Structure 1
Amino acid sequence: MVRGHWSLVTGHWLLSMLPTVILPGFLEAAIAYRPLEKFLQQSGFPTVTVPLQRQDWFPTLGGRPMTPILLQLHRTVEQVLRQYNTAKVNLIGHSAGGWISRIYLGEKAYLARNAAIAAIPPWEAYRFVATLVTLGTPHISQERWTRWNLDFVNNNYPGAFYSSRVRYVCVAGKSIFGQRRRGSWLAYSSYRLTCGQGNCWGDGITPIAAAHLEGAENLILEGVKHSPKAPGIWYGSPQVVPSWVSYLE
């Protein structure tokens, strides 16, 4: 017998879905993603957030390797694979969590900037990730503290690199136009640091131009802001999730 239920989110019958893992954005703790996690669970997607706390990011500050975050991501994915007795999971990466997830998919050793530190063996997670959804992820950057990590990602895994094995869905918000004036100065500065141009559209932190990948299924969502703590709606708001959740099915 096929098991499933009717989804109030998508408006049709859902079969049992692959479990989904959420990787938080830079300096964010798992608690900020509980509403999204709960909403996905109620919509038929068994969902777990990587149990990060804000201080878990501190060893990565200043452009250091994201190894502590990758280790926690891998432990969570392994736990979910065992718990649900499944060969694959879906992965949602918010903000920096999206490009960190691209490292996780890869098959090349993640080299630390300090030559005295040994390279981290690859996880080759493309083997057990069905879909990667990135939400407001800056896939490029001009900012010197993030360039090393992002250069590693884009030099080794450009675009939707594993698209023959993994479905890539890149979601960008269009809510704030960056300008050098009150109310949009933060967006202007952030966009300029990310893609080199401040006068463009984005979610207030990540410009649309940086949030998409060549070869991915790229979406633009009107009115969506970057952070789960921002006023208004963000990528994980109940009225926004239906715009991208069907890609997990």
Structure 2
Amino acid sequence: MSENGMNDIEPNPVVIIPGVLFWDGLYDGMKQELSRTIASERIAVVPVSLLDWVGFPPRPELSTNRVMAALDRTIADMQQRFPDKPVRIVAHSGGGTVALVYLLEKEFQGDVYHRRKSVSTLLTLGTPFVTKEYYAKMKTDFIMKHLSDDFFHDCRVVSVVSDAYQGALDKGLIEKVCYHFYMNVVGEGNLAGDGIVPVTSCFLEGAENVTISGIEHLPTPHAKWYGTKEGVEQWVDML
């Protein structure tokens, strides 16, 4: 039992990484939902702002480096607070590719980190590992170049994505909008996905690829997204 009387999944800390152009405050609800099964003091959200993603003056090509630095500080803090406990990372959207670049322990635009042995699991939520979007592709190209089978011996990777929305041009407004979002990601729109990224873009060879239902991508008010009760319940047991 944890200090607040709940049964923990396991006594290991969890670090949450926001998605691209999202900030840490949007993940308070996810942390609260996770705290139903994991002691809240063992959960940390990487302190990321919109400025970290954009830069000032704007340098979005360096966003991965800025967010990796914040992630490294957060993991170091968790290691200090919970010695000898491997960290589990939960990463939303493009935060998942930032996490994987970080964990590869290869130099990316001048920066490299060496904490993979301290991380037991990377669980991504709506993270596209296949994309044609320019800044995202900088990360996915790097991942595909350096990712090997040996990586998965050190770190378990679970890629979770929802198939809530079908993209289609011959249906309603929502389907049309999804079609264009999916086109922007992979060049094809007649696919199922979470409203922003198609399911197929989140499949990563070597990972545990899991499709869930009824969950949206964006952390918008009143939406059932990956960080709400309805979303967390579908992936928390995979940590």
| Residue 42 of structure 1, CA deviation | 2.9
Amino acid at match of 2:20: F
CA contact (8 A) 1:176 1:202 kept: yes
CA contact (8 A) 1:177 1:202 kept: yes
CA contact (8 A) 2:186 2:201 kept: yes
Amino acid at match of 2:101: I
Alignment map for 1:53-202 (pairs within 5 Å): 53-59=49-55, 62-64=60-62, 66-111=64-109, 119-120=110-111, 122-157=112-147, 162-180=151-169, 182-202=173-193
CA distance in 1, matches of 2:9, 2:66: 35
**1:244 counterpart SS class:** helix
**2:212 counterpart SS class:** strand
- How many pairs align? 232
For 1:39, the equivalent position in structure 2 comes to 33
Query: CA offsets per residue over residues 41-73 of structure 1, 9 Å max, x none?
Result: 231242100011222211275544511111011
CA contact (8 A) 1:172 1:203 kept: yes
**2:229 counterpart SS class:** coil
Higher helix share: 2
CA distance in 1, matches of 2:90, 2:9: 20
> What fraction of aligned residue pairs are identical, expressed as a percent?
28
Query: CA offsets per residue over residues 16-45 of structure 1, 9 Å max, x none?
Result: 520000000011011110011122123124
Amino acid at match of 1:176: Y
For 1:115, the equivalent position in structure 2 comes to none
**1:168 counterpart SS class:** strand
CA contact (8 A) 2:13 2:85 kept: no
Where do 5+ consecutive residues of structure 2 fail to align? none
Kindly report the root-mean-square deviation, in angstroms, between the aligned alpha carbons of the 2 structures.
2.1
Where do 5+ consecutive residues of structure 1 fail to align? 8-12, 112-118
TM-score normalised over the length of structure 1: 0.85
**2:21 counterpart SS class:** coil
**2:161 counterpart SS class:** strand
Task: Classify 1:230/1:220 alpha carbon distance in 2 versus 1 (closer, same or farther; 3 Å).
Answer: farther
CA contact (8 A) 1:63 1:146 kept: no
Query: CA offsets per residue over residues 170-223 of structure 1, 9 Å max, x none?
Result: 101111111235223332122112122111000000100011211211111111
CA distance in 2, matches of 1:107, 1:15: 28
Task: Classify 1:56/1:145 alpha carbon distance in 2 versus 1 (closer, same or farther; 3 Å).
Answer: closer
1:217 is aligned to 2:177 = no
Runs (4+) of structure 1 moved beyond 6 Å?
A: none
CA distance in 1, matches of 2:124, 2:209: 10
